[in-house]
Structure 1
Amino acid sequence: MAHILSVFRPQSFLALLGRRNPTFHKMSMDSRAREIFRAAVEAVQPDRVVRQSLERKNDSVIIDGCTFTLRHNLHLVGFGKAVLGMAAEVERILGDHLINGVISVPHGIQQTLQQHGKSHLLLKKDSRIKVMEGAKHNLPDEDSQKAAEEIKLLTSELSEKDLLLVLISGGGSALLPAPIPPISLHEKLNVTRRFAAAGATIQELNKVRRTLSLLKGGGLAHHAHPAQVVSLILSDVIGDPLDLIASGPTVTCEVWPEEVLSILDRYKLLNSMPASVRKVLAKQGPRWKDIKEDSGSTGEALNVVIGSNTIALTCAGQRAQELGFRSVVLSPGVCGDVRLVSRLYGLLARFACSREEPSPEIAAEVLRLGPEVGVESWDLCRTMQVLGEGRNEGWGARCLLAGGEPTVELTGKGRGGRNQELALRVGMEMRGLELPPQGPVFLSGGTDGQDGPTEAAGAVTDGGLYDEAQAQGLDINSVLSDNDSYTFFSRLSAAQRLLVPGLTCTNVMDVHVLLIPAIPIEIS
């Protein structure tokens, strides 16, 4: 009976899958990888995540299990690259109770959405929400500071009867610059640049940024008291830490000036700070002691992450199953050097594609690499178990999903980004690893639709990449040393390997897709 089952299960399963989903046999592995990525991006569209997070019931709205009464008392502010589409959906759902609003969005975004046929992400012509564009090149500027001032003014005039809905997405920090007077925007930017150049940690940098800001680190929520504040957040940060996304304007995270003075002294920058910065830091106690002091405010808000890399991977996994794969999510927090990340994926591909039990050395190296790329040993063991079951039990095709934001050490002046370079390096790691009829295939793509200074979001690769490059006289090592992955993929003539999804209107970091084909079983 065991022998019969070992022969019957994979063939009967694939036959059944083919009947349920005719596209399984017709789509190439490359096409399926792109379709899975598309599903990930669709899952975190700004209008979709808002629609799924708001439940309207007559004159009330339910958000994250909490019910809020609507009495023509709704106000809206927002800041970030995806906020315009979020605001448009809020307007459709709750517009009859909306009094006013101000959103700070990237320069030119309204025209761009219109040109790309994304009018559903635009506000109505008679909208009560004011749109202010700024932050050219993703840097704080005078336009974004004016938007921040209007947002502060709106929130400061609210009463206990009001409900303030705050929309936040990636890029929100640059779109909400509000240095504490008399510090100028230029002075604040210069201070943070000097901290970064001195080797300060991201935690120290955030403490400085919050201490010198009126609205970051919970400042917006404090200004809005005594109104009820609810934030809907589209996360672009690993782990979805509320205090780091757009620097946490609605997350109470008090930093005392004394702490920043200590950090300044540690990096020997104290004596070279502008007089305005020294004046602000000379005030003892927390920032908020002078803000609505008689209200007894704690400035607490309800913060809800409505879109994230985890949500994108979950929906990608569902689509992968529809396309004939057994899916497993490795982690939404892959980070670290792209060379180490590519090595990990190459090892996992070889582990999954081995016809026999892989050598213990592969699993040992996978577990060793895990901590260096932000992946827990438990997640690696769980993933290898699923990949191994696919091989041992004849389950057939498998899909490994992961997300995050690896880093690239720039050594050259070429064109490309971390996703294209990761795909290229994984292709090298899978050199010679080819199973009929095709695969394995690896895709790496940025959900924001951009990867470096190119129109590509990433690339798709496989084990035949090296031979393809050799046949066309392309030197992959030279390409990698010059960080010129975009030029490399553009010159390949055999197939279109670049991932160019166009305007995605969202950003939850990167998505990685590793597709393992069904391993043919030899029947004796």
Structure 2
Amino acid sequence: MDLTAQAPTDRHEVALACLRAGIEAARPERVLESSLRLDGDSLRVGEAVYDLSRFERCVVVGGGKAAAGVAEAIERVLGDRIDAGAVVTYDPGAGERIDHLPGDHPVPSERGVESTGRAVELLEAADERTLVLCVVTGGASALLPAPAEGISLSALQETTERLLESGADIGEVNAVRKHLSTLKGGGLARLAAPATVVSLVFSDVVGNDLSVVASGPTVPDETTYDDALGVLDRYDLSVPESVRERLERGRDGELAETPKPGDPVFERVDDHVLADGFTALDAARDEADGRGYETLVLSSRVRGEAREAAKTHVAVGEEVLATGEPLDPPAVVLSGGETTVTVRGDGAGGPNLEYALSAAVELSAGSSGGHAVLASVDTDGKDGGTEVAGAVVDERTLQTGDDREAARDALDGNDSLPALDARDCLVRTGPTGTNVNDLRVLVVEEE
């Protein structure tokens, strides 16, 4: 990963160093170095141990933004103990035992469907003497598509686009997607049964709800067809007729539901969360501590509208400068989570870019008597549909009332990318090989 951004002050350098430390800590090679070990026939995953001599075959399947790195790390540990494998990602590497296959995000693609077909073949061939190592990382909902019977790829694509533009949270989006797929919502576990499935999870979901990470392919689904219809109605979404027809047939009992808690398909399934948003936050906090700053993790679960959440983060920084609460400056206030954007315009941007631009408006309008720098990125290196990770701003990013008004107009048009690019505020990383939610760093210092 090569994180690049303009750093005109030492405060910017600190913010960027914290970002870099957080992302690096969540990269698969770092995470699996300590959480995946082979000792003879004993495979250790965290605190669990699996006896490989019990199995005739070991296969690796899965997908998501971090899937390539996870697959590479698995190969380094298991080598020729792996019989076959297929992972789907947007930045595929080249494995020896595990095929790295291409897919697309955030909207599923034809090549993603084709690639997923290889993983489905391996799952269908699994039996009670098969160990399935399942790579579950953020982004797999789109990267690992297997449309349900009667649902075309184009219908799935259109529905996905409508959901992503609606402002619905990830749980609501996935309630719909689970009921349009053969793998999501416990479908992968059902397809693999009676094999033993060991799921290696890199969580990009607030609170690590495994039914939401990658749409929960290996865990029970408590949502229903009726819930999915409720999401469409709540956001007044126009979707292809085949989608609504399938959901209505499911609601009426004409189609089988996704597997629920207690279903026997989960009897041989173990899920292990190996990295999440706090992995990155903890490393960023250590970096700030080492540089002599008082630190506070505001929350790893920040959600809601990005531009509104930014105001709260800035307000905490203002309190630090004004009263020394809850920290004495110099201080670093961190947060993670997954904010959303309700798309009302046709501009370019993403949640972290809107977060940063909104923060810039607040910082430039304040009178806290100190200095503040806020950096906000998506740890996968792509904020929304953009090719940048996020942005870094301070109280001088917007210097006049006209600047602030132009920024507000950009927010109203969901056009934060060009507004921040014009001020040299963008943070670029390229594909980071991981995905553990957003990471935000606020550095505050007195005059």
1:406 match: secondary structure: strand
Distance 1:397 1:474, change over 3 A: same
**1:500 paired to 2:428:** yes
- Cα distance in 2 for partners of 1:472, 1:409 equals 23
Distance 1:488 1:231, change over 3 A: same
Contact 1:349 1:430 in 2 (8 A): no
List alignment gaps of at least 5 residues for structure 2.
Answer: 1-7
Distance 1:49 1:202, change over 3 A: closer
Residues 345-385 of structure 1, C-alpha deviations (whole Å, 9 max, x = no match): 2321221112xx48xxxxxxxxxxxxxxxxxxxxxxxxx53
The residue type paired with residue 123 of structure 1 is: A
Contact 1:191 1:273 in 2 (8 A): no
Structure 2 match to 1:169: 137
Contact 1:434 1:463 in 2 (8 A): no
Deviation at 1:199, TM superposition (A): 10
List alignment gaps of at least 5 residues for structure 1.
Answer: 1-25, 111-121, 290-294, 359-383, 391-395
- Cα distance in 2 for partners of 1:265, 1:470 equals 40
Distance 1:191 1:166, change over 3 A: same
Distance 1:319 1:265, change over 3 A: closer
Structure 2 match to 1:375: none
Structure 2 match to 1:98: 82
- Cα distance in 2 for partners of 1:305, 1:447 equals 17
Contact 2:194 2:268 in 1 (8 A): no
Structure 2 match to 1:32: 14
Deviation at 1:400, TM superposition (A): 0.6
What does 1:25-424 correspond to in 2, within 5 Å? 28-71=10-53, 73-106=57-90, 109-110=91-92, 122-124=93-95, 127-135=96-104, 138-188=106-156, 206-253=174-221, 273=242, 277=246, 282-283=253-254, 286=257, 297-354=265-322, 357=323, 384-385=325-326, 387=327, 390=328, 396-424=329-357
Count residues with an aligned counterpart: 432
Contact 2:61 2:133 in 1 (8 A): yes
1:422 match: secondary structure: helix
Distance 1:352 1:165, change over 3 A: same
Residues 257-313 of structure 1, C-alpha deviations (whole Å, 9 max, x = no match): 687789999999999557983777654664569xxxxx9644541111112111110
Deviation at 1:198, TM superposition (A): 9.9
Deviation at 1:191, TM superposition (A): 6.3
The residue type paired with residue 373 of structure 2 is: V
Contact 2:219 2:266 in 1 (8 A): no
Contact 2:26 2:276 in 1 (8 A): yes
Deviation at 1:39, TM superposition (A): 0.6
Structure 2 match to 1:440: 372
- Cα distance in 1 for partners of 2:233, 2:12 equals 54
2:304 match: secondary structure: coil
Structure 1 match to 2:389: 457
Q: Percent identity?
A: 34
Alignment TM-score, normalising by the size of structure 2: 0.83
Contact 1:192 1:208 in 2 (8 A): no
Distance 1:318 1:410, change over 3 A: same
Contact 1:79 1:169 in 2 (8 A): yes
Distance 1:253 1:470, change over 3 A: closer
1:123 match: secondary structure: coil
Deviation at 1:486, TM superposition (A): 3.2
Alignment TM-score, normalising by the size of structure 1: 0.72
- Cα distance in 1 for partners of 2:373, 2:164 equals 38
Residues 167-222 of structure 1, C-alpha deviations (whole Å, 9 max, x = no match): 01122112222233344444555667788999988656544433343221112112
Distance 1:153 1:516, change over 3 A: same
Contact 1:257 1:285 in 2 (8 A): no
- Cα distance in 2 for partners of 1:152, 1:166 equals 12
Deviation at 1:434, TM superposition (A): 6.5
Contact 2:178 2:184 in 1 (8 A): yes
Q: Which structure dedicates a bigger proportion of its chain to helix? A: 1
Contact 1:420 1:485 in 2 (8 A): yes
Contact 1:250 1:300 in 2 (8 A): no
> Which shows bigger deviation, 277-286 or 299-308?
277-286
- Cα distance in 2 for partners of 1:258, 1:198 equals 19
Structure 1 match to 2:416: 485
Deviation at 1:240, TM superposition (A): 1.6
Residues 60-111 of structure 1, C-alpha deviations (whole Å, 9 max, x = no match): 11113111012363210011121011101100111131111111222xx24x
Residues 114-153 of structure 1, C-alpha deviations (whole Å, 9 max, x = no match): xxxxxxxx334xx122222133x53223322233332222
1:465 match: secondary structure: coil
Distance 1:264 1:97, change over 3 A: same
Residues 21-63 of structure 1, C-alpha deviations (whole Å, 9 max, x = no match): xxxxx98111011000111110111222222321222221111
Q: Which structure dedicates a bigger proportion of its chain to strand? A: 2
RMSD: 3.8
Distance 1:197 1:34, change over 3 A: closer
2:33 match: secondary structure: helix
The residue type paired with residue 335 of structure 2 is: A
Structure 2 match to 1:367: none
The residue type paired with residue 489 of structure 1 is: L
Distance 1:484 1:178, change over 3 A: closer
Deviation at 1:164, TM superposition (A): 0.8
